[in-house]
Structure 1
Amino acid sequence: DLAAVTQAAQAVGGSPLSLGSVTRDDLPVPALADAAFAAPQGGVTAPVRSPFGWHVLRVVGITPGAAAPFEEVRDRLREEIATERAADLAFERANRVEDAIAGGATLEEAARRYGMAIATLRLDARGNDADGAPAPMPVPVAGRPETVRAIFQAELGRAPRLQELRQADAFIAVELRAVVPPALRPFETVEEDVRLAFLTDQRRRFQEERAAALMAAMRGGQTLQAAAEAANLPTDRVGPFGRRPEPAAPGTTAMPQELLPILFGARVGEPAMAPTRSGFAVAQLLEVVPADPAAEAELLATVRRNAQAQAAEDLEAQYAAALRNRAAPRVNQTLMQQVVP
């Protein structure tokens, strides 16, 4: 009885597995395929040994083989054949290019002979040219990172070798002709960038000094409003708001996101300061409004449901992790890909 066999197998670490509907070619071991396809519907095979251990199979159902009309599979067959042929042609051409280079042909000669795109590049380790723009490469976009790595791993004077771009389904060959040491660019080529960077840095430093002066005044006992008026700076009262405030209406002041974690950890009257994209933001916490769960009953119920669901997921994950640690299973990914459709 298969139930008794299953129970005995589980007692020594075995486990039942449903393969679903499979063809003979879907089974990775010929002995398993022979046993399964020789058994009648509802039949149980004798124990079959494979490189993965012992197996007993039960045939739940048999689906008779049938030939699909050619019209139904014409497009799929054409695509499969074209894909396989394209891969074969790519490898054939790659081998010919390799042979040509090994026979003394230059990379340019091999490229012209076999219709390969070729480009001479001068780029940095980020793939940019001398102007800081992405260097044009005759490779798919997905293959750019691999191409840049290949260029910077190449050795000066070594003959080029074809290599496959795994992320782009393509081949490249790299011939390194020169290594340019890092060097400072002439000042006249970067003068405008230097001036802009200097002004930006000075402006931000000035903003930081004014913000720090406000913080010092508030720590000395002044309110933010009084310290800002003395420094001829505008202030605005914002709030009340939650940890995730709604977008501010047009014409109103929005609470900088950078200040939120600081304010929700501050005490009433305590100042806060944070850098932002445009400068520095300074605030003073004036009041803490306690949450009223009764006023947001629906929201509270949603939060409670979410918390319960999250707790259940955490418990399930911890339980599954504990089972894995105790059982210590080993999964053969290759076999799984062959068995599971």
Structure 2
Amino acid sequence: MLRQQIASALGGDVAPPAVLLDAAHRYESEQRAVAYIAVGATAAGAVPSPTDEQLQAFFNAHKITFRAPEYRKITALALTPAALAPWVQVADADVKAAYDRNTARFGTPERRAVQQIVFSNADEAQQAADKIKAGETFDQIAAARGLSPKDIDLGTVVRSDLIDPKIAEAAFSLPLDGTSAPIPGAFGSVLVHVTKIDPAQIQPFEQVQDVLRKELALDRARRELLDKHDSIEDERGSGATLAEIAQKLGLQTETIDAVDRSGRDPTGAEIRDLPGVADVVAGAFATRPGVETEPVQLPQNGGYVWYDLNEVTPARERPFDEVRDQVLARWTEDETVKAVDAKAKQLLAELQAGQPLVQVATSAGLEVKTAQNLQRGRAASDFSADAVAKIFDVPLNGFGLASGTVPAERIVFQVTGITVPQVTPAEQQAAARIGQQIETDLLLQYLAQLRSQIGVSVNERLLQQAIGAGTN
């Protein structure tokens, strides 16, 4: 009780200061509007061609950037359904049988508009059928039984939509405007009538046989995959090379002459053709030449890839002449960024000197754009999250400079509006949580002060009694 009274006296019903709540609300909810100019490489102008001395100096200062990474030469044998399929023979009869089983896949099935009247017994159904033969229409029979067109309409259906197979067979055997004989059904005798026929649109066998043949070959290849896997493992165990195994089993190896740790060749192009290439490259960089490696198992039962590491080319320093084009491209990129930055700072200085934004933009051949409802920490259109943060560092009607969404772009902006929305219910709940945190902080500070003034001691006898120590 005493503890509760002390805690209540220290922090009970603490109301967070209005200044704190206002600052938190503004930080979370404040929105800003800006007018801005996007300064890119075109606005900065063309970068002059460098001299050989400039390029050499740039190369010397950034040698590590142009260093050749370690490369590895790999021989791989991929065992996948696609690799096995060309060797699988599929008979013409099997292809035709697969087509006949799946005709609906190669077009749209026949659809029919069907009506149905259910009779309580076979005699009533037969009497109605006789009247139709005598000249009455199906609709007249329905109307005489008090049924509306909606009551007898089953809609436009395919055969599989009709649950009763006898009704489905009858409905899809009738000619247009034909009426069936009485059909025994689950709820009585039935007459069906066909008012419309949309014929099936099926691609002929000749147009799809090649696709079907490949699919059947792939399916059979998947079933043969494990047998081939065991054969390859047996050959590996006997000491055969991947090239020898491929020749014996009718497969093909692939050789990657040079690949770096990131999966790229010396031109910088990413190696893509080999299945499971990321795992193969990672494994190749974790082994040594001459060491047998475990095969890579492809996801979703997609096959296996065996690989051998043939050769390691160590990382090296590239001479300037070998990478001159790369040095030139990198130098040009850096100088373009510097030029864009200088141009943006020039425009910012003109604005800060008092020139209107539109005038500054027009003189530079640029367009003034606007953005609304920008919020802290949220990227929007031309503004990264860092750029938005800079906007919130500038006062109303002030000017600023921020990086664009690409390296060679700068945003010169003016803050044109600041809006603080009304406090929402969620923020009111947050205010209550802040109050609770203040209560907790006050109590913790009080306890810390008591410990520093009074100290803490332990009554060993009572502690031993409480935990049951020393008792038999």
TM-score (structure 1 length as normaliser)? 0.48
More strand by share: 2
Higher relative contact order (CA 8 A, sep 6+): 2
TM-score (structure 2 length as normaliser)? 0.36
Q: Decide which structure has the larger Cα Rg and report it.
A: 2
